[in-house]
Amino acid sequence: MPKTPHPPRGSTPGGGRALVTGGAGFIGSHLVERLVARGTDVTVIDDLSTGRRENLAAVESGVRFIESDASAALPTLASEAPFDEVYHLAAAVGVDLVLADPIGSIERNIDVTADVLRFAHEHGAPRTLIASSSEVYGKPGAAVFSEDDDVHYGPTTTTRWSYACSKAIDEHLALAYHEHRGLPTVCVRLFNTVGPRQVGRYGMVLPRFVEAALAGTPLRVFGDGQQSRCFCDGRDVADVLPRLLAEPACFGRVFNLGSDAPITIAELAERVIAVLGSSSTIEKVPYGDAYPGGFEDLRHRKPDLARIRGAVGFEPTRTLEDTIRDVAAAIRGEGVTP
């Protein structure tokens, strides 16, 4: 089918209508708060499988909430006025969840993304952001991951690579909708996003560590702890997503989004204990005891942020220490900065 350009409506941020799938989740709820604050009419679709309704408590009166799988809810919105923006954040997340339910994870990532893109194309062609993952890189040959690098995955018999493949298909779909059907899309590869409202239930490392530190129990570090990651606060991520959709030069492109300051997991555990003044110790746990078969870890994961810096001037603003304190405050039920 030949390309049919659809010029985006309302490219200036503010006002308009936005749809956020996964909007009750950790990142999604912070994004919703920012959209409401700028005067946008927001509809949230979330099945609450990993999100929580209370995450939207601060803006609940100003948000239309639909508790549903996105694929089931989209047809009910077809007769309404088109959205100006669509943020598709709903996905299977977390190592534990992917390993426990690979079929559901694959179907949720690919099928629902296809439905969201089809809905957007057929109903006004709103600016559409697809949340992807650094997992797409697979086993990179470079120390720093750049958006146009080749990707290399492990065998299909290793379950974790199913998630990487499903997110790569999401990106292929979004880019094809832009190239062949004129839908203004942006793909964002998230790198180890952390912060208040994130839960450790599906293997997320920072809330697990903070919960243990607050309880005075050992922080369980898998493997030798020398694997490194770059942690970025979810509020910094939420700040920049609307800026990406407001810039037409970003359409049809893929962006790394995160921090580029690496820290080993052992150092992260030490940092959490120090920041919170905890009496906890650190316990090393072999991977074989932590995960079922089908898991394979990466030693290092660091993004090249040159593209997103050049496009919208992105820089993380919150320190890891601030994020640790705010995660602890949220777990205690205390208020934190939105």
Q: Structural domain tally of the chain?
A: 1
pLDDT recorded at residue 206: 96
Of 25-34, 186-195, 315-324, 329-338, minimum mean pLDDT range? 329-338
Mean pLDDT of the residues in the chain: 91
- Confidence class for position 111, pLDDT limits 50, 70, 90: very high
pLDDT recorded at residue 12: 42
pLDDT recorded at residue 3: 37
Of 137, 163, 177, 291, the active-site residue reads 163
pLDDT at 284 over 60: yes
CA distances from 274 to 161, 179, 213, 337 (A): 35, 49, 10, 22
Within a domain: residue 291?
Answer: no
- Torsion sign (Cα): 168, 170, 171, 177: positive
Q: How many CA atoms does the CB half-sphere of 300 hold within 13 Å?
A: 12
pLDDT at 8 over 50: no
Burial profile 227-256: b = 16 or more Cβ within 10 angstroms, e = fewer: bbbbbbbbbbbbbbbbebbbbeebbbbbbb
Within a domain: residue 124?
Answer: yes
User: Is residue 202 among the annotated active site residues?
Assistant: no
pLDDT at 338 over 80: no
Q: Which amino acid is at 168?
A: A
**Any idea what the Cα angle at residue 131 is, between residues 302 and 233, rounded to 5°?**
55
Q: What is the pTM of this model?
A: 0.92
CA distances from 247 to 46, 110, 132 (A): 27, 26, 19
pLDDT recorded at residue 10: 39
pLDDT recorded at residue 104: 87
Within a domain: residue 114?
Answer: yes
CA distances from 74 to 33, 120, 169, 268, 290 (A): 22, 10, 21, 40, 38
Residue numbers of the domain that contains 32: 17-193+233-260+301-316
Query: Is the distance from CB of 47 to CB of 23 less than 8 angstroms?
Result: no
Q: Residue 262: exposed, middle, or buried by beta-carbon count in 10 A (0-12, 13-18, 19+)?
A: middle
pLDDT recorded at residue 211: 96
Within a domain: residue 11?
Answer: no
Of 2-11, 135-144, 201-210, minimum mean pLDDT range? 2-11
pLDDT recorded at residue 280: 98
Residues in CB range of 144: below 8 A, 6 or more apart: 260, 302, 303, 304
pLDDT recorded at residue 293: 61
- Confidence class for position 173, pLDDT limits 50, 70, 90: very high
Check residue 280 and give left, alpha or beta (phi > 0: left; psi -120 to 50: alpha). Answer: beta
Q: How far apart are CA 305 and CA 200, in angstroms?
A: 27
* Percentage above 70 pLDDT, the chain: 92
Burial profile 29-53: b = 16 or more Cβ within 10 angstroms, e = fewer: bbbbbbbbeeebbbbbbbbeebbee
Within a domain: residue 31?
Answer: yes
**CATH code of 44's domain:** 3.40.50.720
Q: What is the mean pLDDT of residues 87-111?
A: 84
Within a domain: residue 286?
Answer: no
CA distances from 128 to 37, 136, 199 (A): 20, 19, 27
Within a domain: residue 272?
Answer: no
Distance of CA 162 to the CA centre of its chain: 17
Of 144-153, 179-188, 283-292, minimum mean pLDDT range? 283-292
Give the model confidence (pLDDT) of 190-249 as tens digits: 999 999 999 877 668 999 999 999 999 999 999 999 999 999 999 999 999 999 999 999
pLDDT at 6 over 50: no
Within a domain: residue 293?
Answer: no
Give the model confidence (pLDDT) of 36-76 as tens digits: 999 999 999 999 988 999 999 999 888 999 999 999 999 99
Q: What is the mean pLDDT of residues 71-95?
A: 91
